[in-house]
């Protein structure tokens, strides 16, 4: 039934575009717009992410070269770099952020039973940030040093399927720990973070919200021991303790007991100390959950290597946020396509195949029929080196 339709238009069928129109109406995105609507803008930017276009001129040239196909691909307005630049600067970025949340909800539902390496039924999130360096003269609103600008992507990643559930785009001057204030904590969920997020006043909010955190302890932590539980040293666990903080400020900011676990990784010759407010899980499971935190690092590596977010099509804060949210929408869309079509290739391989066949008028599955997954083992071996406990 897809005969004569481009792969791009078939791919867009996986999007709930009626929900996109609701987002546009909510923020008045198409108010007094006669041509080049928010949907045209989204399609242009999604096309750019799928085909790795470097700039507005490239997007314009590539799409105009296929002008006869554009109408059937969903485009209704005139594609030009001036239209796209104006739209990026003036359309409300929340339209695209809200639509990305719609896709995220769909993806999380598809991946709700996906294993992530730890036998645990609860929802587990990894929270971290990545920095994208920018030119100070072009992005003065993102200045965080005397001669440097940058944006940070603070990301809450659902470890089942590596789906980004929340992303906060800020200037580089915003410290990582401040992003904890934006989280809407889920009862019973686990939040895994590195020690850059150790702020005991904020961590105590997790306990009050009946959510669990796992993080690394800093070396200067002051505490006294309340109880110690027996451990199996053969598993790498060296101690499992209940402690109370004794620092002048930390004791006030976190008045309850904490769990302190020391784990030795013989392979890396590393001794690591974890803090958590969960006293029920085995100590080894706590260490394994922290190990799974590296999925967020792999996510950052993926989007920086395979999506166009290290350089931006516009210099305003609004344009940057729109591009980031459309890029994340494309990432989640690929994850949805992989699950709904039952595809074996990795997300990167699916992204590459879709980009190469975007204008082909063949069924979308045809591009994967002759796919050989012989290189996936080599890629997996390369990624295993990243799974350490730094």
Q: Is 257 within the bounds of a domain?
A: yes
State how many domains the chain has: 2
- Looking at 277, 295, 323, the residue that finishes a domain is 277
Q: Is 356 within the bounds of a domain?
A: yes
Q: Which two tokens stand for residue 177?
A: 């720990």
Range of the domain at 245: 194-277
Burial (CB count within 10 angstroms: exposed 0-12, middle 13-18, buried 19+), residue 310: exposed
Q: Is 344 within the bounds of a domain?
A: yes
Q: Which two tokens stand for residue 340?
A: 């709904």
State the CB neighbour count (10 A cutoff) for residue 210. Answer: 12
Each residue's pLDDT tens digit, 16-47: 999 999 999 999 999 888 889 999 999 999 99
Q: Is 118 within the bounds of a domain?
A: no
Same domain, 258 and 318: no
| Geometric angle at alpha carbon 211, from 282 and 189, rounded to 5° | 70
pLDDT by residue, tens only, the chain of 390 residues: 455 789 999 999 999 999 999 999 999 999 888 889 999 999 999 999 999 998 999 999 999 998 888 888 889 888 899 999 999 999 999 999 999 999 999 999 999 999 988 989 999 999 999 999 988 888 888 888 888 899 999 999 999 999 999 999 988 888 999 999 999 999 999 999 999 999 999 999 999 999 999 999 998 999 999 999 999 999 999 999 999 999 989 999 999 999 999 999 888 889 999 999 999 999 999 999 999 999 999 999 999 999 998 889 999 999 999 999 999 999 999 999 999 999 999 999 999 999 999 999 889 988 888 766 554 444 444 444 444 444
CATH number at residue 200: 2.20.25
* Alpha-carbon distances, residue 112 vs 35, 100, 124 (angstroms): 40, 18, 11
Specify the DSSP class assigned to residue 79: P
Residues in the chain: 390
Q: Is 114 within the bounds of a domain?
A: no
Separation of alpha carbons 67 and 241, rounded Å: 67
Q: Is 173 within the bounds of a domain?
A: no
Separation of alpha carbons 139 and 155, rounded Å: 22
Same domain, 320 and 273: no
Q: Which two tokens stand for residue 133?
A: 């360096």
DSSP string, 199-242: -HHHHHHHHHTT-EEEEEPPTT--EEEEEEE---GGGTEEEEEE
Q: Is 308 within the bounds of a domain?
A: no
Q: Is 106 within the bounds of a domain?
A: no
Same domain, 12 and 89: yes
* pLDDT the model gives residue 165: 94
Could you list the beta-strand ranges (E) of the chain. 124-134, 143-145, 148-158, 163-171, 190-192, 212-216, 223-229, 237-245, 258-265, 270-276
* pLDDT the model gives residue 3: 59
* pLDDT the model gives residue 145: 83
- Looking at 277, 299, 330, the residue that finishes a domain is 277
300 contacts 155 by C-beta, under 8 angstroms: yes
């Amino acid at each position: 039934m897809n005969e004569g339709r481009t792969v791009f238009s078939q791919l867009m069928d996986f999007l709930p575009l009626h929900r996109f129109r609701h987002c546009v109406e909510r923020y008045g995105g198409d108010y007094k717009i006669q041509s080049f609507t928010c949907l045209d803008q989204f399609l242009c930017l999604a096309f750019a992410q799928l085909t790795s276009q470097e700039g507005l001129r490239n997007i314009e040239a590539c799409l105009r070269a296929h002008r006869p196909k554009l109408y059937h691909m969903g485009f209704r307005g005139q594609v030009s770099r001036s239209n796209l630049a104006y739209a990026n600067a003036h359309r409300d970025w929340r339209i695209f952020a809200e639509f990305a949340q719609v896709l995220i909800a769909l993806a999380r539902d598809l991946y709700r039973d996906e294993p992530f390496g730890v036998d645990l039924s609860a929802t587990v999130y990894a929270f971290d940030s990545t920095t994208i360096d920018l030119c100070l003269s072009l992005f003065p609103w993102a200045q965080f040093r005397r001669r440097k600008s940058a944006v940070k992507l603070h990301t809450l990643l659902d470890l089942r399927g590596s789906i980004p559930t929340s992303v906060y785009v800020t200037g580089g001057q915003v410290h990582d720990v401040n992003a904890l204030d934006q989280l809407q904590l889920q009862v019973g969920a686990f939040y895994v973070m590195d020690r850059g997020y150790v702020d005991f006043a904020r961590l105590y909010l997790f306990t009050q919200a009946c959510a669990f955190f796992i993080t690394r302890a800093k070396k200067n932590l002051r505490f006294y021991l309340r109880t110690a539980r027996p451990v199996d040293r053969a598993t790498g666990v060296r101690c499992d303790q209940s402690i109370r903080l004794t620092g002048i400020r930390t004791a006030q900011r976190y008045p309850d007991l904490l769990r302190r676990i020391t784990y030795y990784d013989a392979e890396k010759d590393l001794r690591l100390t974890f803090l958590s407010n969960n006293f029920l899980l085995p100590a080894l499971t706590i260490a394994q959950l922290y190990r799974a935190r590296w999925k967020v690092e792999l996510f950052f590596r993926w989007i920086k290597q395979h999506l166009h977010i290290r350089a931006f099509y516009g210099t305003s804060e609004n344009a940057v946020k729109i591009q980031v949210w459309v890029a994340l929408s494309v990432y989640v869309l690929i994850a949805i396509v992989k699950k709904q079509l039952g595809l074996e290739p990795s997300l990167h391989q699916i992204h590459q195949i879709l980009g190469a066949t975007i204008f082909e008028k063949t069924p979308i599955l045809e591009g994967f029929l002759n796919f050989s997954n012989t290189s996936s083992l080599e890629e997996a071996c390369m990624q295993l080196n990243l799974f350490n406990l730094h």
